[in-house]
Structures are given as structure tokens and as C-alpha cells.
């Protein structure tokens, strides 16, 4: 965590993080526009932020796109902010976003974490029902994880798995897993406070997808790098996007804790918006 606090201590780096918080998926050139910093300075600051895992980058063709990675900040919150505060803080954050309006132009979320485990064990944790049961609190997906196969979903640990039209898109053990996400369900009608039944029915047509990319970390001592990309949303105002943006951060934190042999906070693995 020392690297995170050191990275956050510089106002220029905080400014870059603010820009990525407002709009993810920016290139080096875009991030430097309008700033009193040279391209080289922006690049150096980004390197520090990436070393602290506060920023991650993905290649899209010839472009290198940068994203804010909230996982280290989430881990700090887990350590120093009591669980009783989380709901109140989340409500305040949601109110702030509502009042300021959506600033994001790319309707997708990218999260990165580094886990002290092997690529094979990480892939197993994403696909094995016993692993999933632990870090997702008895809920989550089930499949044989073959391309084209059905992915069923369980909402209640005591309930049954349901078929919601989800399918496995890619499955390369130890490297990549991708599947379509479930649509909004009746229980989400009140959860997201839709203005009308018509608005809810329209939102139910959206079908996003989630992709897990597994690769060696840039430095061996960092373990294995896991990148989650959740995209395919209809717009930046997507209610599903709003829901998964908080859910994935907590799931990643619980997955990391479980694989590294630490104490698992079960209350973190059952967010109502998954």
C-alpha cells in the first residue's frame, strides 16, 4: 500500500486519476491535452500510477488505452473503513454522480488486480463451482465452460440455478474466459428505481458481456495479472453498468483474498447489484 500512497501524494498524478475517473479509456495524448505537462512527464506519471496498480492499460489496435483501476483503493477502504460505513458512502457517491451527470463516454469498465497464484489456479477459481461458491457467497454462475455452452446463474445461495440466456463466448484455460451477462431481472425493477415499466422493459433488452484475461505480471514477484473487461452496454447511463461497477470491485477483492489464503469477508461477496 506504500506505493499507492506515494503515487497519490503527487497533485499531477491525482489530476491524471481525476481525468480517468471522468472518462476511462484515454490515450497518452488525450490525457495530456490541456495540462501544463510535457508528454514525457505524463508518461512518467502514468508509469508510477501503473506501478501502484492505480492505472491499467489495454491495447486496442495501435492505441494504448488507460483506465482507472479502483481495486487498490478498495483494498485501502476494506482495511480502514468499517463495513457499517460502506452503505452510507456508496449512497453519497451515487448522489454525487447523479447530480453531476454522466461524464463517461466509453460505456465499459476495466478492472485489474494482481494475485499471488498461478494462471491455472486463477482460471480454476473462475470456473470451479466450489471456488465460486466461496468468494461469491453461494451465488454466481455455473457452466461446463465450453464455447457455446449455457451459463446458468444463482441469485440466492438456497435457490436453484436459472437459465437467463447467457452463453460462453471464449474459454482458453489459464488465459481467457468470456461469457454474456444476464439481463436485468424483475428484482432490479425497484432496486434501480426505474421511472416506468416501459423504461424498465427497454433496459431489459441490453445484453452485455464480461471477459477475464489472465497473464503473467510484468514482474514475477507480483504474481498473476487478472484483467476484467465488462462491456457491450447500450449507453453510459446503463443501469446494469451502474450495478456491476461496484459489484466487480468487491468480487475481485474477495477472489484475491481467497486465493492468497487470507481471511475472506463474506459480506463483500454478495452485493445486491450483481
The per-residue pLDDT for 110 is: 85
Cα–Cα distance for residue pair 15/8, rounded to 1 Å: 10
- Is the domain of 61 the same as that of 196? no
Is there a single domain that holds both residue 189 and residue 242?
yes
Q: State how far the alpha carbon of 159 is from the alpha carbons of 12, 216, 237, in Å.
A: 49, 37, 31
pLDDT of residue 153: 96
H/E segment holding residue 166: strand 162-172
C-alpha grid cell, residue 236: 453510459
d(CA 143, CA 168): 8
Residue-level pLDDT at 222:
80
Count of domains for the chain: 2
Q: Rounded CA gap, 72 and 139, in Å?
A: 24
pLDDT of residue 250: 86
Residue 216 covered by a domain: yes
Whether residue 121 is found in the same domain as residue 254 = yes
Q: Is residue 214 part of a domain?
A: yes
pLDDT at 107: 65
Asked if residue 95 belongs to a domain, the reply is no
Structural domain for 242, as ranges: 106-268
Same-domain pairing of 53 and 146: no
Q: What is the pLDDT of residues 94-115, one digit of tens each?
A: 544 445 444 444 568 888 888 9
Report the predicted TM-score, pTM, of the whole model to 2 decimal places. Answer: 0.69
> For the chain, which ranges sit under pLDDT 70?
1, 71, 73-107, 262-274
- pLDDT score recorded for residue 67: 85
Give the orientation angle of helix 239-259 with respect to helix 71-80, to 10 degrees.
70
Rg of the chain, C-alpha, whole Å? 19
What pLDDT was estimated at residue 80?
60
Per the document, the length of the chain is: 274
Q: Is 193 helix (H, G, I), strand (E, B) or coil?
A: coil
Final residue before a domain boundary, out of 15, 45, 68: 68
Instruction: Specify whether 16 is located in the same domain as 149.
Output: no
Residues 113 and 239 in one domain: yes
Spatial distance between the Cα atoms of 124 and 135, rounded to a whole number of angstroms: 13
Strand, coil or helix: what is 119? helix
Q: Is residue 194 part of a domain?
A: yes
Say yes or no: 53 and 164 in one domain.
no
135 and 224 share a domain?
yes
pLDDT value for 270: 37
Q: Is there a single domain that holds both residue 114 and residue 200? A: yes
Q: Look at residue 79 in the predicted model and tell me its pLDDT.
A: 60
Q: What DSSP designation does 71 have? A: H
In a domain? residue 91: no
Any domain includes 198: yes
Q: Are 156 and 262 in a shared domain?
A: yes
Residue 73 lies in a domain: no
- The CATH code of the domain that includes 57 is 1.10.10.10
Within a domain: residue 274? no
State whether 243 and 142 are in the same domain: yes
Residue 113: CATH number of its domain: 3.30.530.20
**229 in the same domain as 112:** yes
Amino acid at each position: 500500500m506504500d506505493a499507492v500512497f506515494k503515487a497519490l501524494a503527487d497533485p499531477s498524478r491525482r489530476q491524471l486519476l481525476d481525468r480517468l475517473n471522468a472518462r476511462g479509456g484515454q490515450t497518452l495524448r488525450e490525457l495530456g491535452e490541456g495540462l501544463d505537462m510535457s508528454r514525457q512527464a505524463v508518461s512518467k506519471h502514468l508509469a508510477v500510477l501503473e506501478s501502484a496498480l492505480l492505472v491499467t492499460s489495454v491495447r486496442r489496435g495501435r492505441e494504448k488505452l488507460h483506465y482507472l483501476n479502483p481495486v487498490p483503493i478498495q483494498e485501502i477502504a476494506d482495511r480502514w473503513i468499517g463495513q457499517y460505513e460502506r452503505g452510507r458512502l456508496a449512497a453519497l457517491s451515487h448522489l454525487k454522480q447523479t447530480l453531476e451527470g454522466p461524464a463517461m463516454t466509453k460505456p465499459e469498465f476495466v478492472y485489474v488486480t494482481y494475485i499471488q497464484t498461478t494462471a491455472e489456479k486463477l482460471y480454476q477459481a473462475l470456473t470451479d463451482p466450489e471456488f465460486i461458491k466461496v468468494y461469491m457467497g453461494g451465488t454466481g454462475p455455473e457452466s461446463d465452460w465450453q464455447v457455446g455452452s449455457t451459463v446458468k446463474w444463482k441469485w440466492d445461495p438456497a435457490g436453484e440455478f436459472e437459465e437467463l440466456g447467457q452463453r460462453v463466448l471464449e474459454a482458453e484455460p489459464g488465459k481467457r474466459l468470456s461469457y454474456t451477462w444476464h439481463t436485468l431481472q424483475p428484482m432490479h425493477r425497484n432496486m434501480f428505481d426505474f421511472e416506468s415499466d416501459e423504461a424498465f422493459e427497454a433496459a431489459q433488452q441490453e445484453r452485455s458481456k464480461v471477459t477475464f484475461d489472465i497473464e503473467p505480471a510484468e514482474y514475477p514477484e507480483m504474481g498473476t495479472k487478472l484483467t476484467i473487461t465488462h462491456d457491450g452496454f447500450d449507453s453510459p447511463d446503463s443501469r446494469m453498468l451502474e450495478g456491476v461497477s461496484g459489484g466487480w470491485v468487491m468480487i475481485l477483492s474477495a477472489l484475491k483474498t481467497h486465493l492468497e489464503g487470507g481471511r475472506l469477508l463474506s459480506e463483500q461477496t454478495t452485493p445486491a447489484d450483481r
